[in-house]
Amino acid sequence: MKKPVLVLVLGLSLALACQSESPQRTERPQSQPLRGGTYRAALPWQPRALDPAFSTDIYSVTVIQQVFDGLVQFDRSLNVVPALATDWRVSSDGLIYTFNLRRDVKFHNGDPVTAKDFVYSFTRILDPTERASVRSFFEKIEGAEAYVRGKAKGVTGLKALDPYILDIVLTEPFAPFLSVLAMKSSKVMCRREVNRWGKDVGYHPVGTGPFRLESWGDNQIVLSASADYFEGPPYLDRVIYTIYPGAQNEKMAKDFDAGMLEETPVYGTMTEQLAAKSKSNLVRKPSLSLLFYGMNCRNEPVRDPLVRQAISYAINRPRIIREVYKDRFVLATTTLPPGMPGYMPEHATYDYNPKKARELLAKARQENPNKKLSLTLLSASQSSVAQQELAMVGADLAAVGIELQVQYQTDWPSFEARLSHHGLQMYRYAWFADIPDPDNFLNILCGSGSRYNFMKYSNPQVDRLLSQALAEADVLKRATLYREAERIILTDAPMVPLMYLTFESAFQPYVKGLEISSLGQPYIPLKKIWLDHH
């Protein structure tokens, strides 16, 4: 089986942080899983596309996880375990990964899965004519650079030794690589289907997963069970995702209460409403995530680090979490969330201090002290709680002399497009970990070469530290490098961390077989869920 490889998962609790059910209802002895039934879940936004290599939103990931498989996967403890690979070994220098594949796996169209399919899928991620969101994760594969630059027709480090043995050769040790292979972007793609659909393959996904796409409309995505799934067919017959564009929280709660959904995310007062009902089964636990306000470091007035630091001091974040979110989320004082290697609560830099904020703004405006500062903040959510939150932010900034205008863009693809616009000043954004590794926060959000660095933040010293950390095999040394990088980032203040989010969803009491990790809702394996209507 697998050799010891560094997969950084420290301090992640396996237990549900909070699970409440009606105290009047007693559990009968656990029965055997039942087959059949339809599982109906809510999606707060329409997924952009279901192409693992190019999808960027968590709503797409939620569906992709059910339709596709990769070499390996995360279990509920975030350990890397087999999926389409039965086992693997890693060379002593950490450069060669050899995977033995299952021989009984087929795509939903009947094509068999071989090592060549993984060579194709990973080469596609590196395609220089595309812009895969995860390309940087694969650039340490031998021959990747030559291929990306158009100097080679293939990637020499991706080798199908025979139909069921895959070799991946790296140019240097890359500590999170196994975790990268467990993320949604590393799923195997069917070459015939990609050739058939081209750029539109994300709307016609064909994977190897427990469910296959049945239909995709404006308001619903329907999946049906794959009878030929290599682990055996899932218990459920179908999965229906109902889409509530713009996170229509109240409508989701109402539909759940009416028995029209088996699962829905819950927000704000929805929790109290559903908790009061005996049929509600609320599950709450921490997730590796961060909600923050990003600032475009190339755009005035937040180009000035003094202004960014002033904004960080000016916002009364504890009050927002207390009054708007009723203390359901944890105040964020760092970029890395609790449970992530390198997390250092001692790095907390900015308490609520409007006096300090005014002093920094006065220093920043020495040449033009009477100039009025105004900012525009872009938000994808226009829910009542988001509006209440941003109204308090606006009031806090106004108190120190900054005028804030909030713009809402609830269509996710349009919101993402505006994040790359040169006129962007501030934006509200939530990041959920793809893999349980600090690189997935610090490098992805703050690395100067990252496509998700909408803050346009760049610090050569930070880039150097992050690069060193990726090649470091020693767990403690890696954590030290990430801590130093985060200390510098927080001082430069390209973002205002607001809160670490929690996974919080309501399930009908007859939903059984739930497994929820700290990666949250997108990584719930629906293949293990069954419905007990007795």
Provide the CATH number for the domain around residue 214.
3.40.190.10
Task: Specify whether 168 is located in the same domain as 268.
Answer: no
120 — phi, psi (to 5°)?
A: -65, -45
86 and 122 co-located in one domain: yes
Same-domain status, 489 and 340: yes
In a domain, 363, yes or no: yes
φ, ψ of residue 117 to 5 degrees: the values are: -65, -35
Alpha helix segments (H runs only) across 216-304: 249-257, 270-275
Structural domains counted in the chain: 3
- Judge whether 526 lies within some domain: yes
Residue 323 lies in a domain: yes
Instruction: Measure CA 369 to chain center.
Output: 42
Domain of residue 43: give its range: 33-50+60-67+209-286+503-534
pLDDT per residue, tens digit, the chain (534 aa), is 333 333 333 333 323 333 333 333 444 455 789 999 999 999 988 898 999 998 878 899 999 999 999 999 998 888 899 999 999 999 988 899 999 999 999 999 999 999 999 999 999 999 988 877 788 889 999 999 999 999 999 999 999 999 999 999 999 888 889 999 998 999 999 999 999 999 899 999 999 999 999 999 989 999 999 999 999 999 999 999 999 987 788 888 889 989 999 999 887 666 667 766 657 788 887 788 999 999 999 999 999 999 999 999 999 999 999 999 888 888 999 999 987 878 888 777 799 999 999 999 999 987 666 678 999 999 999 988 999 999 999 999 999 999 999 999 988 889 988 998 888 999 999 998 878 889 989 999 999 988 889 999 999 999 999 988 887 877 788 889 999 999 999 999 999 999 998 888 999 999 999 998 888 888 899 999 999 976
Short-list 442, 494, 433, CA closest to 466: 442
Reply yes or no: is the peptide bond before residue 301 cis, omega within 30 of 0.
Answer: yes
Same-domain check for residues 423 and 530: no
**Going by C-beta distance under 8 Å and a sequence separation of 6 or more, which residues neighbour residue 203?**
49, 50, 197, 216
Return d(Cα 450, Cα 444) in angstroms, integer: 6
Same-domain pairing of 361 and 374: yes
Instruction: Tell me, yes or no, whether 344 and 246 share the same domain.
Output: no
Select from 252, 222, 209 the least CA-distant residue to 43: 252
Q: What is the pTM of this model?
A: 0.73
- Are 303 and 429 in a shared domain? yes
Q: Evaluate whether residue 525 is within a structural domain.
A: yes
Q: How many other C-beta atoms can be found within 10 angstroms of the C-beta atom of residue 106?
A: 15
Instruction: Confirm whether 135 is domain-assigned.
Output: yes
- Coil, helix or strand at residue 87: strand
Same domain, 371 and 437: yes
Looking at the structure, tell me whether residues 172 and 136 fall in a common domain: yes
Do 530 and 303 meet the contact criterion of CB atoms below 8 Å apart? no
Each residue of 306-325: b (16+ CB within 10 Å) or e?
bbbbbbbbbbbbeebbeebb
